[in-house]
Amino acid sequence: MGVIQNLKLWKNNVTHIDAHGNEVTEEVPRVMPPPPWKVIALLDLKAWLYFCLGLAAWTADGYDFNAVNLVATDLATVYGTDLSSITLSITLTLLFRSVGAVLFGIISDCFGRKWPLSADLWILAGLQVATAYVTEFSSFIAIRAIFGVAMGGIWGLSAAMSMENMPVEARGLFSGLLQQGYALGYLIAAVVNITAVRYTSEGYKAIFHVGAGFTGLISTVAASNWIRDTPSGPKPNYSQVMTITMSIVFTACAIIMACGQERLGSRFEVVTRAGAAPKINPEDKTHSVENGECETGLDDAGSHKEAPRAVYIEQV
């Protein structure tokens, strides 16, 4: 029976191995999910508390990440660079997010959810303040890369804390609601950018100040006595310790390389010269032309005359 026929009959074919080792396919009726209001009624006070904490943590993560996107033009002006250089920090943040997911995932499995989540949120709050006051562009790149590591741990910790304390029947609905916290964080950041950044003496720094305060508040709640930690797993073994160590080493090396490339990498500029298209000699940085000298001069009537302009690339 095909998929379309199954959907029409609202039945499901389930294949399993019976007690005799034979593969058996049975037709099982599909069960209609309960209405959303009945699912919501399944949650007790504890489930609501942990869900709201996970939602708030994921919202803060969305706010903190998108804050740079909203003030990218201001940051480019402050550091005297272009927008493409600012977007490099966004790329590095997403790149290091996977490192943070592995790192904090192992830590949370070994030491529980509460304290790793609280510490991770405090790290994000501190990095938001550092982003607002850093003066060099290379330092800004390094801070946002470290921010990516901390950002990577938030989703796993908040989702695990929320869903582990959620009734099984309600996990499908509330996991979808939890995911929307990221979009909510972006909306809050956009509102702050419209209402605070443009009309305060702090300028673009205001969006980072609000984000640091919001994230720090959630971290304080996560560390309070209202939140009881989940049972921790076995202590980390040798492979887990090596994974954590290699993640930290990889992060440090990648950040150093990114900052070093920004400081020492080759930069090119477009230089306009009078004359025909030149041939560049990379050894002595001189050039020649095939159709004569590239000079300006006077024509027969005594007026200023300039040869056609050409553009070439010069390494500086």
How far apart, in whole angstroms, are the C-alpha atoms of residue 61 and residue 224?
Answer: 20
For the chain, 316 residues long, the average pLDDT of each consecutive 10-residue run is 55 78 80 84 91 94 93 91 87 88 85 89 94 91 91 92 89 92 94 87 91 94 82 58 67 63 42 43 47 47 49 43
Q: What are phi and psi of 311, to 5 degrees?
A: -120, 135
pLDDT computed for residue 261 by the predictor: 52
DSSP 184-253: HHHHHHHHHHHHTGGGSTTTTHHHHHHHHHHHHHHHHHHTSTTSPPPPP-SPP-HHHHHHHHHHHHHHHH
Q: Which residues contact 143 (CB under 8 A, 6 or more apart)?
A: 127, 130, 131, 134
- 59: number of Cβ within 10 Å: 26
CA-nearest of 142, 98, 89 to 256 is 142
State which amino acid sits at residue 128: Q
Summarised one tens digit per residue, pLDDT across range 104-127 is 888 888 888 889 999 999 999 999
Give the model's pLDDT for residue 313.
43
Across 18-119, the runs of DSSP E, i.e. the strands, are 23-29
CATH of the domain spanning 38-264: 1.20.1250.20
| pLDDT reported for residue 221 | 92
Is 142 within 8 Å of 287 (Cβ atoms)?
Answer: no
Q: Give whole-number Cα distances, 286 to 82, 272, 313, in Å.
A: 29, 14, 12
pLDDT at 316: 41
**Which pair of structure tokens corresponds to residue 220?**
């304080």
Q: What local confidence, expressed as pLDDT, does residue 235 receive? A: 59
Tell me the Ramachandran region of residue 312: left when phi exceeds 0, alpha when psi lies from -120 to 50, beta otherwise: beta
Q: Which amino acid is at 93?
A: T
- Strand pairing category for 23-29 and 268-274: unpaired
Q: Give the Cβ contact number of residue 270 at 10 Å.
A: 8
